[in-house]
Amino acid sequence: MVKFILFMMSVLFVVSFVGFSCKPSPIYGGLGLIIGGGVGCGVVLYFGGAFLGLMVFLVYLGGMLVVFGYTTAMATEEFPEIWMSSTTVMGSLCLGLLAEGLIVVYLKGGDEKMWGAESLVMFSGEEVGFIREDYLAGSILYSGGNWMLLLSGWCLFVSVFIVMEITRGR
């Protein structure tokens, strides 16, 4: 039953991405990312990563998407492009949903067992440890993964400069 919920969350993840990649108005991007981020956290929580899932909720949905929502609300136009407004948008939405439906049917394959995720994931075995892996990973980033931390920090720093240069205009 819980594996069925996991499957449905994965499907909803893809459907929410289809919902904004058919390029309607950006406010649909916010909607799609909220739903997608929420069910993505659900998937991560299913596999035991409570810390990282809640971190995504807090920082991504609670910080970045809030800012994105406010800027989209400031930059919205009078007649936004909705899902039904043009043949292109509706066509690509239907195509995306159709492709996702075909993949779901293919993966199910008539076998009840396939609602679960056994064929899609590798189990690394049940080890007994004293520290949960997600907390461990969060702290390893600062100790053994210092090069990765430096690179990620540098990339985020550079991306601010890049966005400023790109949106500078004439």
Q: Which stretch binds another protein (CB under 8 A): 27-35, 84-92, 104-112, 148-156?
A: 148-156
Instruction: Kindly tell me the burial class for residue 40, based on how many C-beta atoms sit within 10 Å of its own C-beta (0-12, 13-18, 19 or more).
Output: buried
The answer to whether residues 41 and 53 touch, using CB atoms and an 8 Å cutoff, is: yes
Using CB under 8 A, count the residues that bind another protein. 15
Structure tokens at 16: 């929410």
Q: Which residue has the tokens 């890049």?
A: 162
CA distances from 59 to 23, 64, 76 (A): 25, 7, 24
Q: Which is nearer to another protein, 50 or 107 (CB)?
A: 107
Q: Shortest approach of another protein to residue 148 CB, angstroms? A: 8
Binding another protein by CB under 8 A: which of 85, 88, 146, 159? 159
Q: Which stretch binds another protein (CB under 8 A): 98-106, 125-133, 136-144, 146-154?
A: 146-154
At a CB cut-off of 8 Å and minimum separation 6, what does 136 contact? 129
* 1 is a contact residue toward another protein (CB under 8 A): no
* 156 is a contact residue toward another protein (CB under 8 A): no
Residues near another protein (CB under 8 A) are 122, 148, 151, 154-155, 158-159, 161-162, 164-166, 168-170
